[in-house]
């Protein structure tokens, strides 16, 4: 039982380390991309993001300009594609909501009480 727990814990640690590495790469690429989009104006981007400019530049430094350009192009391509969450327009028969089922219970219509109507 203890050995299984150790193995499970080690697997979780490896997965977490891998996820952290992927997140670090994504953060560095995002920093490089945003700097490139704002003409490498680190002060402006730092003010917009609320982070120190030195930290932003340090994060972006390991990312090559070519990789930043690839990320930007991928983002633009994704923005130009229609979203998969949108549904195709339905035909008129399909577009109208189904009518509620008819009830088998008769509807009572109240007739005005003649005595009360005359009194008013």
Percent of the chain exceeding pLDDT 90 equals 57
* pTM attached to this predicted model: 0.58
Q: pLDDT tens, 59-98?
A: 999 899 899 999 999 999 999 887 666 555 665 555 555 5
- In 10 A of CB 63, how many CB atoms? 19
Could you tell me the pLDDT band of residue 110, with boundaries at 50, 70 and 90?
very low
Angle, CA 31 vertex, CA 79 and CA 21 arms, to 5°: 100
pLDDT of residue 103: 47
Three-state DSSP state, 5: helix
């Amino acid at each position: 039982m203890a050995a299984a727990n150790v193995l499970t814990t080690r697997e979780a640690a490896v997965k977490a380390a891998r996820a952290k590495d992927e997140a670090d790469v994504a953060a560095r690429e995002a920093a490089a991309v945003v700097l490139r989009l704002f003409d490498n104006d680190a002060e402006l981007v730092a003010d917009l993001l609320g982070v120190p400019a030195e930290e932003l530049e340090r994060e972006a430094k390991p990312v090559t300009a070519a990789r930043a350009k690839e990320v930007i192009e991928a983002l633009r391509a994704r923005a130009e594609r229609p979203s998969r969450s949108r549904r195709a327009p339905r035909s008129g028969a399909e577009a109208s909501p189904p009518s509620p089922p008819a009830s088998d219970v008769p509807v009572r219509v109240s007739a005005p009480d003649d005595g009360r109507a005359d009194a008013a």
